[in-house]
């Protein structure tokens, strides 16, 4: 059995205005093996975050099932950790305090916390910034803290929702590189949402392409680029092929979006 | 660096304008434009201050007012923060308290003065009660809004690590609300002092408000001015103290907003 098993998932949201329930994700089935790196791409609003948050146990499931190692997900658990965008760090806590937060929540013994937090702060290269507060750090550094905070609780599955979405292109590439290095060493299962096609391919064993209305999986594309990967693969023919395939999907989505908007106008 | 410079400049300008006002006050009276009966004059006020000080009157009245102020502020802080935390966390408590809040916003507190006299008698208890009601609203309202408007992103992140409601309250909502609660306290300090002085004007046996009213009735403008100036200086000192604390607790928020 795969580590993450999503079967025929449906997620609906309350819409207070109309009183009806809005279907954000429907009929999604996906298996992720232990140690696999799976990225999710798709136009904005196609339910990428919803799917990820459902796996995290932060959004209730309205149909189908999600299971981690055979256990049905009903709430967040120590087997999963989420890396959010930068704004999710506690602004009044230092880097060390933030990385310790997850350990405190999961009731790690007091003596272990600082030592363990420092280990992961060193891993993401912030040893000299442990006493800094988030507002004193750059966007890239804040995301390192977010990654350290998630890794510190020793999850089996790392869930990431556009963690580098707010960073500039160059920082983003560096962070992607480092994330791969860490992932290869830590052997975590990774589910990573992005809207950046290159990032999706570069990181992934498989890329899940999602479409809209309601959110569903259009294709799951295997990426056969050997690891460890370096930035020069971005220029290879193989990579270009993947890139074209994903672009075609997204172009299709954009076109259908215009049609819908045209019809409404 | 620039901020420090700007701060110093603000201080210098503020001091200059204060000195300017004092100079103008002295000048218009000395030159005979305004009868000193209405406003006295700075030099006379200063001399009277020294005289009152030597007789020990200033200390008696300041400590009387400060005592009522401390009692009222302490009560308002305890009740305001306590109720604010409950109402911010439990929607039902907020709904239950809402009518009182509206009532307090729309009805002038001082109108209840006679009622308090009837209940609590003439003197300190009534003064403290009035000042307590003056100070309560901003402390309660700020605490409530701090807890209620807790950052959704932070709550979600905390929940993802398994935080229970108890953890979210103490680890996320409460620390995130400290700056706005302290801002509420700063407003409460100013209002508590106002409340004490106003209530003392109406009826007391000692205190700054009492002294202002007493000398006003005797038409002794200079003496009255001494106590008015003391009230102003006390208000500035207390509010500045809270602003200082506020700036310290607010550091992460101010910089994060940039
Ligand atoms: N909390 C929510 N309440 C109501 N609708 C929501 C909520 N979160 C997301 N949605 C809707 O669900 C759809 C999918 O959203 P989301 O999963 O955030 O998409 P993506 O991450 O792919 O941009 C969107 O139409 C969005 O408006
Ligand atoms: Mg999203």
State which residue of chain B sits closest to A135, comparing Cα positions: B256
Distance separating alpha carbons of residues B243 and B254, to the nearest angstrom: 14
For residue A126, what is the enclosing H or E element?
A: none
pLDDT value of residue A261: 55
User: Considering the domain boundaries, does residue B118 fall inside one?
Assistant: yes
Cβ distance B156 to A58 less than 8 Å, yes or no, reads yes
Ligand nearest to the backbone CA of A44 = 1
Nearest Cα to B191, choosing from B145, B245, B244, B133?
Answer: B133
Whether residue B162 and residue A78 make contact (CB cut-off 8 A), yes or no, is yes
Q: What residues does ligand 1 touch, defined as CB less than 6 Å away?
A: A 13, 22, 24, 42, 44-50, 215
User: Looking at beta carbons, which residues of chain B come within 8 Å of A106?
Assistant: 161-162
pLDDT(B253) > 90: no
Ligand nearest to the backbone CA of A59 = 1
Closest Cα to atom 3 of ligand 1: A13
- Centroid of ligand 1 to alpha carbon of A31 (angstroms): 22
B160/A81 Cβ within 8 A: yes
Q: Per mean pLDDT, which of A251-265, B18-32, B95-109, B159-173 is the most reliable?
A: B159-173
Task: Kindly state whether residue B210 falls inside one of the protein's structural domains.
Answer: yes
What's the pLDDT score for residue B1? 56
Q: Which residues of A touch B256 (CB under 8 A)?
A: 91, 134-135
SS (H, E, C) A82-102: EECCHHHCCCCCCHHHHHHHH
Confidence tier at A135 by pLDDT (50, 70, 90): very high
Domains in chain B: how many in total? 1
The CATH number that applies at residue B97 is 1.10.3720.10
pLDDT (average), residues B148-162? 95
Q: Is A231 exposed, middle or buried (0-12, 13-18, 19+ CB in 10 A)?
A: exposed
Q: Which of A52-56, B1-5, B246-250 has the highest mean pLDDT?
A: A52-56
Inter-residue contact A108 to A39 (CB < 8 Å)? no
Sheet containing strand A157-161, edge to edge, reads: A80-83, A157-161, A189-193, A37-42, A206-211, A216-222
DSSP H helices, chain A, are: 48-56, 95-105, 110-123, 139-152, 169-186, 197-203, 237-264
Q: Please check whether residue B9 lies inside any domain of the structure.
A: no
Ligand 1: atom nearest CA of A52 is 17
Which residue minimizes the CA distance to atom 2 of ligand 1?
A13
HSE of B248, CA atoms in CB hemisphere, 13 A: 5
Instruction: Output phi, psi for A62, to 5 deg.
Output: -105, -15
**ipTM for the whole complex:** 0.90
Q: What is the pLDDT of residues B80-92, one digit of tens each?
A: 999 999 999 999 9
Q: Which two tokens stand for residue A135?
A: 């507002």
Q: Of all atoms in ligand 1, which is nearest to the CA of residue A42?
A: 22
Hey, is the C-beta of B167 within 8 angstroms of any chain A C-beta? yes
CB pairs under 8 A between A and B: 65
Does residue B106 lie within any of the structural domains?
A: yes
% of chain A at pLDDT higher than 90: 75
The CA-atom distances, in angstroms, between A94 and each of A89, A142, B1, B212 are 9, 11, 24, 50
Task: Examine residue B25 and state whether it is found in any structural domain, yes or no.
Answer: no
Is the model's pLDDT at A83 over the cut of 60? yes
- Summarize pLDDT for A177-222 with one digit per residue, the tens: 999 999 998 889 999 999 899 999 999 999 999 998 899 999 999 9
In a domain, B154, yes or no: yes
β-strands A4-14, A80-83 pairing: unpaired
> What's the gap in Å between A200 CA and the centre of ligand 1?
20
**What is the domain extent for residue B251?**
42-257
Chain A residues contacting B, CB < 8 Å?
56-58, 76-78, 80-82, 84-85, 87-92, 101-102, 104-106, 133-136, 153
Q: Is residue B180 situated within a structural domain?
A: yes
pLDDT digits (tens, 9 = 90+) for A139-162: 999 999 999 999 999 999 999 999
Q: How many Cβ atoms sit within 10 Å of the Cβ of residue A175?
A: 20
Tell me whether residue B26 is in a domain: no
């Amino acid at each position: 059995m795969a580590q993450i098993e999503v079967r025929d998932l449906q997620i609906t949201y309350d819409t207070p205005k109309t009183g009806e329930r809005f279907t954000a994700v429907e009929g999604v089935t996906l298996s992720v093996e232990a140690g696999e790196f799976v990225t999710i791409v798709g136009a904005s609003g196609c339910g990428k975050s919803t799917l990820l948050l459902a796996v995290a146990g932060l959004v209730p499931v309205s149909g189908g099932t999600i299971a981690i190692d055979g256990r049905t997900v009903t709430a967040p658990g120590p087997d999963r950790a989420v890396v959010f965008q930068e704004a999710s760090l506690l602004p009044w806590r230092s880097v060390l305090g933030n990385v310790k937060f997850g350990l405190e929540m999961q009731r790690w013994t007091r003596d272990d916390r600082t030592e363990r937090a420092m280990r992961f702060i060193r891993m993401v290269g912030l040893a000299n910034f442990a006493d800094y507060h988030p507002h004193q750090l750059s966007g890239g550094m804040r995301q390192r803290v977010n990654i350290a905070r998630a890794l510190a609780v020793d999850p089996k599955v790392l869930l990431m929702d556009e963690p580098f979405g707010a960073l500039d292109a160059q920082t983003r590439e560096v962070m992607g590189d480092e994330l791969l290095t860490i992932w290869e060493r830590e052997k975590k299962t990774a589910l990573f949402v992005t809207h950046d096609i290159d990032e999706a391919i570069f990181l992934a064993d498989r890329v899940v392409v999602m479409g809209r209305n309601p959110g569903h999986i259009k294709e799951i594309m295997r990426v056969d680029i050997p690891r460890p990967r370096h930035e020069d693969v971005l220029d290879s023919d193989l990579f270009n092929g993947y890139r074209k395939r994903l672009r075609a999907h997204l172009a299709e989505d954009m076109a259908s979006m215009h049609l819908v908007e045209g019809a409404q106008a | 660096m620039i901020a420090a410079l700007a701060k110093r400049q603000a201080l210098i300008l503020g001091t200059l304008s204060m000195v300017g006002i004092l100079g103008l006050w002295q000048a218009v009276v000395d030159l005979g434009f305004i009868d000193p009966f209405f406003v006295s004059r700075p030099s006379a006020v200063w001399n009277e201050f020294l005289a009152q000080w030597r007789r020990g009157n200033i200390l008696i009245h300041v400590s009387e007012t400060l005592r009522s102020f401390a009692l009222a502020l302490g009560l308002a802080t305890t009740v305001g923060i306590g109720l604010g935390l409950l109402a911010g966390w439990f929607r039902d408590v907020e709904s239950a308290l809402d009518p009182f809040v509206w009532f307090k916003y729309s009805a002038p507190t001082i109108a209840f003065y006679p009622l308090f006299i009837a209940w609590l008698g003439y003197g300190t208890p009534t003064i403290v009660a009035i000042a307590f009601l003056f100070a309560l609203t901003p402390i309660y309202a700020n605490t409530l809004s701090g807890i209620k408007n807790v950052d959704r992103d932070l709550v979600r992140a905390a929940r993802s690590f398994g935080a229970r409601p108890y953890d979210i309250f103490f680890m996320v909502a409460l620390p995130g609300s400290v700056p706005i609660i302290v801002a509420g306290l700063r407003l409460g300090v100013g209002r508590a002092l106002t409340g004490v002085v106003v209530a003392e004007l109406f009826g007391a046996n000692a205190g700054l408000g009492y002294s202002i009213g007493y000398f006003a009735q005797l038409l002794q403008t200079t003496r009255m001015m001494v106590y008015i100036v003391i009230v102003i200086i006390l208000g500035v000192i207390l509010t500045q103290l809270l602003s200082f604390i506020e700036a310290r607790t607010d550091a992460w928020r101010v910089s994060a907003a940039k």
